Structure 1
Amino acid sequence: MLNIAYRAAFAGALFSLAGPSLAQPIAVSPVASDAAADAQPVVQVPAAPASYTLPALFAVDLTVVDEVSSKLAKSGDPVRLRLARPIYVTPDLGLPEGTVVEGMVIHAAKGGMGGKSGELLIAAQRILLDNSVAIALRSFQVNPAQGRDNQGVAMGLMIAGGAVGGIAGMLITGGSARVAAGTNASAKTRSATELPASLLVKLPRQDPLYTSPMPVPAFTTQGN
């Protein structure tokens, strides 16, 4: 009997010693958790390009700001133009509608007696963004229905670039050749031009995108 009691007491002692240790939670080393976090890949966000290329022969829609007439104009007179539509160089960066465009009177001759027609040759020269960046233009044309003489008759004649010092312009003839304020016109970029991103403005987003920092065709709201 004493032997049985001794065995029961010995078993209880073993249970009291082993039980609490088995009930203890297993501690997780923080070192393993930190190592797993360090193993996660780091996503690199590419930096925005510093500049974009506007390609050569890119079509630009223009508006004539002030009337130009062969009665008053002289060779070398400035012609005020503006962008009729924005130029996009990314889906949301570019030059806004209304951007100033510089033009010039290349040749002007008044109409005379004996039916001599007035002559007016004007050209779009450039879009000046700052003192070091300008977009040179060529192939200026006005809407043929809007360049008129005083009798409502007009004729447009494209002049080769070499004939006017490398600036392609448009000759309007008539009794008093003139281009009215608000006349729609167009031109093209003369050569590919690097445009610093800092000189571009945020525009309403347009897709698809046809430009990148490489010299590929840019996207605009008008056709080329």
Structure 2
Amino acid sequence: MLTAKTPVLLVFADEVSSKSAVKDAEVRFRLAEDLHVGEIVVPKGTPAFGEVVHVQKAGLGGRGGELILAARHLDYRGQRIPLRSLKPLATPYAGKNRSDAALAASFIPYAGLMSMFITGGQIVIPAGTEALASVAADTPVSAVPETQ
């Protein structure tokens, strides 16, 4: 039995960016290290999936990009192990908010109109970035694949 709140270390399989992500889109991960469930070992590299919960591209006026992701499940031999939350473990990839620069530029004569064209930064999470999720509920895990 895999108990709820067990930490699960994942790795992003693909780059995810606030510039190209779409709400409700699937996000792919891989298990970053073996997960031991009693005598059963869920091997490193096992696929996991999540979704884009919220995305907003960087915008005019210096607004930074926003990206909220959630882990949903680990796919082990046809069994879905439910996951929750997601926290990238590397440096924060927050889109840089440059609204202060846009505001400052608006006070410069003849630059006020141009200040609205200052954009903030996008959020980019590179493939290979580690992230921590947790098991959402107590889940029995079997070493034998489920039959369809």
TM-score, structure 2 length as denominator? Answer: 0.76
Pick from 188, 192, 195: which aligns with 2:141?
A: 195
**Aligned counterparts of 2:52 and 2:74: Cα–Cα separation in 1:** 16
Pick from 87, 95, 98: which aligns with 2:35?
A: 87
Number of equivalences: 123
Pick from 168, 183, 187: which aligns with 2:129?
A: 183
Q: Give the letter for the 2:75 counterpart.
A: L
1:130 is displaced (CA, Å) by 5.0
Matches within 5 A, 1:117-196: 117-130=64-77, 133-145=79-91, 147-149=93-95, 175-196=121-142
**Aligned counterparts of 2:95 and 2:144: Cα–Cα separation in 1:** 43
**Aligned counterparts of 1:84 and 1:147: Cα–Cα separation in 2:** 20
Q: Give the letter for the 2:73 counterpart.
A: R
Structure 2 residue aligned with 1:6: none
1:128 is displaced (CA, Å) by 2.2
Distance 1:140-1:108 versus aligned 2 partners, 3 A rule: same
SS at structure 1 position matched to 2:144:
helix
1:61 correspondence with 2:21: no
Pick from 61, 78, 102: which aligns with 2:49?
A: 102
CA contact (8 A) 1:125 1:136 kept: yes
CA contact (8 A) 1:146 1:180 kept: no
**Aligned counterparts of 1:99 and 1:148: Cα–Cα separation in 2:** 28
Q: Could you list the runs of 4 or more consecutive aligned residues of structure 1 that deviate by over 6 angstroms after TM superposition?
A: none
**Aligned counterparts of 2:36 and 2:71: Cα–Cα separation in 1:** 20
Question: Which is helix-richer, 1 or 2?
Answer: 1
Segments of structure 1 that go 5 or more residues without pairing to the other structure are 1-52, 152-173, 200-224
> Quick check: which has more Rg, 1 or 2?
1
SS at structure 1 position matched to 2:67:
strand
1:150 is displaced (CA, Å) by 7.0
CA contact (8 A) 1:146 1:179 kept: no
Q: Give the letter for the 2:68 counterpart.
A: L
**Aligned counterparts of 1:150 and 1:139: Cα–Cα separation in 2:** 23
CA contact (8 A) 2:19 2:57 kept: yes
**Aligned counterparts of 1:97 and 1:130: Cα–Cα separation in 2:** 13
**Aligned counterparts of 1:99 and 1:129: Cα–Cα separation in 2:** 7
Measured against aligned partners, the alpha-carbon deviations of 1:44-89 in whole angstroms (never above 9, x if no partner) come to: xxxxxxxxx1111001011011110011111011111010001011
Q: Give the letter for the 2:135 counterpart.
A: T
Structure with larger RCO (C-alpha < 8 A, sep 6+): 2
